[in-house]
Every structure is written in C-alpha cells, then in structure tokens.
Amino acid sequence: MSTAATTAPATPTASLAGRALAVGFAGLALTALGALISPDRHGIAMSYLVGVTYWTAIAIGMLLMILIHHITDSSWSVVLRRQWEHGLAAFKWLALLFLPLLVLAWLKPGYVWPWMDLKHELHGHGTVGTDILYQKKAVLLNLPVFTGATIVFFLSWIGLSAWLRKASFTQDSDGDVKWTYSSRKAAALGLPVAALTLTFAAIFWVKSLEYHWFSTMYGVWFFANCVRGALCSGVLIMVWLYHRGDYRGIVNSNHFHSIGQLMLAFTVFWAYVTFSQYFLIWNANVPEETFWYNLRELNHDGTTNQWWYVGLVILFGHFVVPFLLLLSYRFKVTPHIIRRIACWVLTIILIDLCYNILPALKDGHGDSRPFLSVNLLWVLTSVIGVGGVCVWAYLRSFPTTKLIPTRDPRIGECLSHHD
Amino acid sequence: MAAPSYGLIATFETAPEIYHAAQVVRDAGYRNWDVISPCPLHGLDKAMGLRRSIVPRISLAGGITGFCTGMSLIWWTGAYDYKLTVGGKPLFSPMFAFPVSYELTILFTAFATIIGMFVVNGLPRHYHPVLKYSQIKRGMDDAFFIVIEARDPRFNLANTTALLEKAGGKEIKELEA
C-alpha cells in the first residue's frame, strides 16, 4: 500500500470537471433548442423526464449504498463509500434540473402528467375530472401535493447527503469516532426516509403518467434500478481510479468481487420484482392493470408494437445476460470485463426507464408512439445534459477531500479486505 | 520400515514460517500435500498454489437441473399427463411455471453446493492417518504442520525429508498409513 496515495488529498480533476460541465451544457442546450423548434414538445418533455429520473435514480442508489454501508457497519466498502459521497453532490443540481418540469406542470397542467389537467380528454371515455379512478386518487394526485412532495423528496435527499458528507469529510481531519456514530444514526433515520421518498418519487414522476394503473411493486422496481445504477457507477469509478493509479494498492480483487456479488444479487432482485409485477397482473387479468402492459405490447388493432421487442430486450438484457455473466468469478474480478458489464447495465437501466415513461405518449388511436423515433435523440441529449452536470458535480467534489476516508475506524479492514 | 508409510509430517511454529514453507513445497511441484493450521491464514491458498474450488460449477449444474425440473414438472402435470385448464389460462405457460422453477433452482443449487462441498472436501471422514501422530492436537492450538503424502509422484523419502528441512520444518516424522 503506498502511503502517498492514502495520505495525500485526491489529485485535482478541474479540467475534467470543466469538460463534463461543457458536455452537460451542450446536451441541455440541444434539448432546450429542440423544445423551441420541434413541433413535438410533448415528446421532448417526456424525454427530459427520462433524463432527470435516470440520474436521480443513480444518485438515490448511491445514497442508499452509503446508508446500507453505515447501518450494517460494513468494512469492505469504506474506500468506495467516499466516491459515492462525492456522487451525492449532484442532488442539489438535480433539484435545479427538475425545476423546469415543475414549472411546466404549473404553467401547462397536463402537459407531462395528464391528470394535472381535469379537462384532459381520455381516449374513449370523457375527461380526467369525470373519471372515477381519478376522483378516487385525487387526494394524492393533485398539483399542490405533487409539488410539495417533490420538494420534500429533494430536501430529504439533499439533507441526508449533507449530513453524511459532513460526518465523513470532517472525520478525515479530526479522526473522531463520533462521526461514525453520527452516520449510523443518519442511516437508521435515513433508510426509511429514503425508501418512502424514492417510492413516492417513482409513483408521482413515473407511474402517475398512467394514473389508472395499480402496482404495489412499482417503488421496489425503482429501488432495484437505483441500486443497480449506483453499483455500476461505483464499478466505473473504481476501474477509472484504478487505471489512473489512485487506487493502486488500495483496492484489490476482493473489492471487485464484493461489488460484483452485489451487482449479481440486485440483478436477481430486479428480476424477481419485475417478474412478480408482470406475473401478478398476467394472472389476475384485470383490465385496470393489464392495459399498462397492453400499451407496451399491442396496438389497438392487435398488431405487435415496438415496445414488445423493447420489453424482450429488457428481459434478456437487464436480467438473463448480466445474470449469466455475473455468475463468473473471473468476470467479476477482471476490471475491463466488469466495466463492460457495468456500462451495459447502465444502458439497459435507461431503456427500462424509457419503457416505463415513453409509452405514455399516445397517437390518435390511443396507441403508444413507437420506441424508435426522434424522441430517442431527445432522451440522449437529456441524459447527456443532466449527466454532464452530475459528473461535473462529482468531479468538483472529488478534490475537496482525501481520496479515501483515512481515519475511518474500518479503513484498515477495508484495505486488507479478503473474502 | 515394514508397514507402508502414509507420508511425512513436519512441524512449524509460526504463520510466516508455514507460509514460506508452503511456497517451497508448491514450487517443488508437489500435488498431494496439505497444511494443517489452527486458524485460517489469508493468502495461504495462493502460497499453496491452490486453484479456485470447483464447487461453484457443481452449484450451477444443480441450479440448471432445478430450473429444468420445475419447468418440466409443471408441463408434465398440467399439460401432458392430466390436461387441466385453470383460470382460463393456457395448459402450459412459462409464466406460471416460473415461480416453481425459481424455487427449485434455489433448492437444487443449495443441495448441490452443500453436497458438492462435502464431496470435494472428502467429508465426512472418520479417520485420517495424521490422527495417529502424537503431536497432532497442537494443530488445533499453537502449531502448523505440512503433510506430504507418499502417493505423490514426486515423493521420495530422502529428498522430501531434505525439502521439508530446507523449508524450515522441525520434527519431521513418517506417518503410519
């Protein structure tokens, strides 16, 4: 273990951060330009929702990984936890980036989330305001509650992040064990808060696009994607720092094995949850529930639509392929292989979010508009735009503290991690 | 020596000693040998030149068997042997066969892992020649041993004794088979 690497502050990443921010602004500018000139602003708004939700999910996942780390008093993840703490710096910018959607919701109710406009025409049966299913759900689904909830979500995430970051960063300088206990309290309090906020965020932001629908699995599905996103980003950061030299002598193949095992576990967990949701709806065969999958499989005339194939890509790409690959010990501990698997899973998480959000865009027959469309371009610009800002926030936080939490009580165990 | 010997046993007092001795025996190319230690030693696997266990492969085979058993069980009972329509669903669909297959995958994987581990370890075993060695109980307390079996192709009483001496072994004794 090189002492220089562990005691020196992390090396500056200013130029890299600047580039990330430039890319982010370019993406956001292109999305904004699209919103100005494109005739289909509705599609752009939905694509932007995909972009913001994607990065928020990864940030929530990082928050969850840190909370789980503290509540289980883990040792293997101490060095990686520091990188996730830097990732949490993105939350305040994500809140800012969510703002346009919130403003849009007030200026043009019903533009993104149809239930916000009581006069919104439903395909074939009246308006939202006269819809019994809306009336029953109106306690939750109204603009003030939506706005208040979104503010509460971001405040909780930003607050928990500030707490965890302060405790961890301050411990570097004073070495006081009280910060570890403080983080543990944050974890005990924060885990239920994070679980509830991410569930309601998934319900308000994504699920309510089809407010007729029922699924008790939805929050859990979102949770699984959040954690998978954080684990995969963690792997990318580990490999990046390893190849750059920072992590030489710090992480060993056991760290890669441990995070790889978690990736495998959450692959199975995601599949369990996603299959359960599908299976229960398939088995009960109740129209209020099956319509959600019908939109993603069939057109009104019974022909198969593109989303059916996207669903298959998700089934195989989000479960079967990563599951089989991650069974292998060698793949988990070989940096360039696990990096490829992480990139693949991060891509599929994006497709999974597209699958959950974009079919809410309908054509004149009430069919979902196809997957392969110009909206993919706007998804891409939004993801790059929001992502550039998130990566910039991470890289800007990176040099402000030590590379690893040198005075964490578990740092010795972490550096000699062996499974 | 009238009775055939099982092999040689050598005593080592400290963990670093046994670690380096293991490297020496490994580099000499021995295959049928083992280390007896009162506690797990990190890195000893590598020092002994052990490869990863084959148990994960046995687990995978168990899992695949379980999955196929579940699928064919549901197909056989509901769609072939006694055709029965339940809830207006097709006679067979992987959808409703999946929970059963999933459970059997886990069950069979667990069985294969436990049984595979026992078989690969050579357990249960009620007797082992090292148990006759008068000092063997120290191997559960404060000493480390290396045992090189006589069936190893490289085994040669004089050379192997010399190797163990070179590796720092004390009280090198022959074990009764």
* Same-domain status, B136 and B170: yes
The pLDDT tens digits of the residues spanning A33-44 come to 999 998 888 999
CA of A26 vs chain B CAs: smallest distance (Å): 45
Say yes or no: B106 and B151 in one domain.
no
Task: Give the residue on B whose Cα is nearest the Cα of A268.
Answer: B102
Residue A263, pLDDT > 90, answer yes
Amino acid in the structure at residue A281:
I
Give the residue from A52, A58, A67, A91 showing the smallest Cα distance to A224: A58
Per-residue pLDDT, averaged over B50-54, amounts to: 90
CA distance A116 to A119: 9
Q: Is the same domain home to B64 and B21?
A: no
Length of chain B equals 177
Q: Which residues of B8-17 are buried (b: 16+ CB within 10 A; e: fewer)?
A: bbbbbeebeb
Beta-sheet strands, E only, within B13-133: 33-36
At B82 the three-state DSSP class reads coil
Q: Are residues B74 and B47 in the same domain?
A: no
* Distance between CA atoms of residues B125 and A193, nearest Å: 52
By mean pLDDT, which of A2-16, A275-289, A298-312 is the weakest? A2-16
pLDDT at A281: 95
The reply to whether B23 and B72 lie within a common domain is no
Smallest CA–CA distance, residue B97 to chain A, in Å, is 11
Weakest-pLDDT range from A91-100, A131-140, A162-171:
A131-140
For residue A197, give every residue at least 6 positions away whose Cβ sits within 8 Å of its Cβ, in sequence order, or none: A152, A153, A156, A157
Residues of B in contact with A327 (CB under 8 A): 56, 60
Test B95 with A283 for CB contact under 8 angstroms: yes
Indicate whether A7 pLDDT > 90: no
User: Where in the sequence is the domain holding B71, given as residue range(s)?
Assistant: 55-121
- Does one domain contain both B93 and B131? no
B60 CB neighbours in chain A (<8 A) are 327
pLDDT band of residue B3 (cuts 50, 70, 90) is low
The tokens of A73 are what? 């008093």
| Cross-chain residue pair A329–B52, CB shorter than 8 Å | yes
The answer to whether B153 faces chain A, any CB pair under 8 Å, is: no
Asked if the Cβ–Cβ distance from A279 to B95 is below 8 Å, we say yes
Average pLDDT, rounded, for chain B: 91
Q: Tell whether B157 and B113 lie within a shared domain.
A: no
Question: Is residue A183 within 8 Å of residue A164, measured between CB atoms?
Answer: yes
Name the most confidently modeled range: A381-385, B13-17, B159-163.
A381-385
Residue A1 pLDDT: 42
Is-contact A194 A63, C-beta < 8 A?
yes
A41 exposure class (CB count in 10 Å sphere: 0-12, 13-18, 19+): middle
**B74 and B94 housed in the same domain:** yes
- If asked whether residues B138 and B161 sit together in one domain, one would say yes
Reduced to 3 states, what is the DSSP secondary structure of residue B8? strand
My answer on whether B61 and B109 are in the same domain is: yes
Q: Are residues B167 and B151 in the same domain?
A: yes
Indicate the DSSP class of residue B138.
G
pTM reported for the whole predicted model: 0.91
The total of structural domains in chain B comes to: 2
Residues in chain A with CB shorter than 8 Å from the CB of B52 are 329
Interchain contact, A283 vs B42, CB within 8 Å: no
Instruction: Please tell me which of the candidates B42, B56, B98 has its beta carbon nearest to residue A418.
Output: B42
Choosing from B121, B144, B164, the residue where a domain stops is B121
The yes-or-no verdict on residue B34 having pLDDT over 50 is: yes
pLDDT in tens, B85-107: 988 899 999 999 999 999 999 99
User: For residue range A67-84, what is the model confidence (pLDDT) as tens digits?
Assistant: 999 999 999 999 999 999
DSSP-derived secondary structure letter, B19: H
Q: How far from A135 is each of A127, A360, A386, CA to CA, in Å?
A: 11, 20, 35
* Cβ neighbours of A329 in B, within 8 Å: 52, 56
Per residue in A160-177, pLDDT (tens digit) is 999 999 999 999 999 999
Question: Does the distance separating the beta carbons of B89 and A275 come in below 8 Å?
Answer: no
* Mean pLDDT of chain A, nearest integer: 93
Residues B81, B136: one domain? no
Kindly state the tokens that stand for A358.
């974009």
- Per-residue pLDDT, A57: 98
Q: Which residues of chain A approach chain B closer than 8 Å at the C-beta? A: 275, 278-279, 282-283, 285, 327, 329, 416, 418
Q: What is the pLDDT of residue A2?
A: 44
